[in-house]
């Protein structure tokens, strides 16, 4: 397995010359390049894991995102489709890492996003989750896995959280579609997993006007 060499000086330069320069740089995560000085006689031997956070590192949670929004601190978000890209995003200090359905074209060579399946998304989401570190993760629900009924949407969302190891899900369709999922969550009596999913939907509803504002500002 090839080592991944992260370049902290490049990451530091980008951050210092961006709109987020006022925010302190995160503590560096362990990299595979520094861990692979040990001799491994077989590829089946356990490899160093990036999923364990360094001591003192706090994970980004929904409450963290809310606090950043309330304090008007820019929220950083980057798309990652696999373990290497998630490693770079986490090392750069991204608050949120999105596993988007654009991986259909970028990683799988498909002509558009309509061809990618939920199983494809879960496979890539699980890969990203192993390197996400403290970043908050969002998994895209692809076309065809939530439009039929709220029950289908809820089942797909649970699979993305349970099997894909994502902390939240994203779907297209506006507030009406998300409210159908909220209703189905209540009908399911709010198990611990579903309560967590409901909080994720609440975050998505909060981020919608923020993203609309940022898009409008960019157009101006």
Residue 62 lies in a domain: yes
Tens of pLDDT along the chain (220 residues) come to: 444 444 555 555 555 555 555 566 566 555 544 444 455 555 555 555 555 566 667 899 988 998 999 999 999 999 999 999 999 999 999 999 999 999 999 999 999 999 999 999 999 999 999 999 999 999 999 999 888 887 888 888 889 999 999 998 888 766 666 666 666 655 554 444 455 555 565 556 555 555 555 555 555 5
Kindly report the pTM of this predicted structure: 0.64
Q: Which two tokens stand for residue 8?
A: 């902290």
Complete edge-to-edge strand list for the sheet that includes strand 136-140 = 77-79, 96-99, 136-140, 169-170
Residue 153 lies in a domain: yes
Residue 164 lies in a domain: yes
Per-state percent for the chain, helix, strand, coil, to nearest 5: 50, 5, 45
Residue 201 lies in a domain: yes
Residue 12 lies in a domain: no
* The pLDDT value given to residue 36: 42
C-alpha span between 209 and 214 (Å, rounded) = 9
* The pLDDT value given to residue 172: 78
C-alpha span between 124 and 42 (Å, rounded) = 25
Residue 34 lies in a domain: no
User: Do residues 100 and 53 make contact, with C-beta atoms less than 8 angstroms apart?
Assistant: no
Packing angle between helix 150-162 and helix 174-187, nearest 10 degrees? 80
Residue 8 lies in a domain: no
* The pLDDT value given to residue 41: 55
66: CB partners within 8 A, 6+ apart? 203, 206
* The pLDDT value given to residue 150: 77
User: Residue 103's closest CA among 86, 134, 158?
Assistant: 86
Residue 102 lies in a domain: yes
Q: How many domains does the chain have?
A: 1
* The pLDDT value given to residue 154: 82
* The pLDDT value given to residue 98: 95
CATH of the domain at 170: 3.20.20.60
Packing angle between helix 118-129 and helix 83-91, nearest 10 degrees? 50
Could you tell me the residue range of the domain that residue 169 belongs to? 52-219
C-alpha span between 101 and 215 (Å, rounded) = 20
């Amino acid at each position: 397995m090839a080592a991944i060499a992260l370049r902290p000086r490049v990451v530091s330069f980008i951050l210092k010359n961006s709109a987020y320069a006022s925010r302190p740089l995160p503590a560096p995560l362990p990299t595979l390049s520094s861990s692979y000085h040990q001799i491994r006689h077989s590829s089946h031997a356990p490899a160093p894991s990036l999923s364990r956070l360094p001591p003192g590192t706090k994970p980004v949670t929904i409450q963290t995102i809310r606090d950043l929004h309330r304090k008007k601190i820019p929220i950083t978000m980057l798309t990652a489709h696999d373990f290497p890209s998630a490693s770079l995003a986490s090392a750069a200090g991204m608050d949120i890492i999105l596993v988007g359905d654009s991986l259909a074209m970028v990683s799988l060579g498909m002509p558009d996003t309509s061809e990618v399946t939920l199983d494809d998304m879960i496979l890539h989401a699980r890969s990203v989750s192993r390197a996400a570190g403290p970043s908050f993760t969002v998994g895209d629900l692809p076309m065809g896995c939530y439009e039929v009924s709220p029950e289908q949407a809820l089942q797909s969302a649970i699979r993305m959280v349970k099997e894909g190891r994502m902390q939240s899900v994203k779907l297209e369709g506006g507030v009406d579609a998300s409210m159908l999922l909220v209703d189905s969550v209540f009908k399911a009596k709010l198990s611990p997993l579903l309560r967590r999913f409901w909080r994720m939907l609440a975050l998505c509803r909060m981020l919608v006007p923020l993203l609309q504002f940022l898009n409008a500002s960019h157009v101006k």
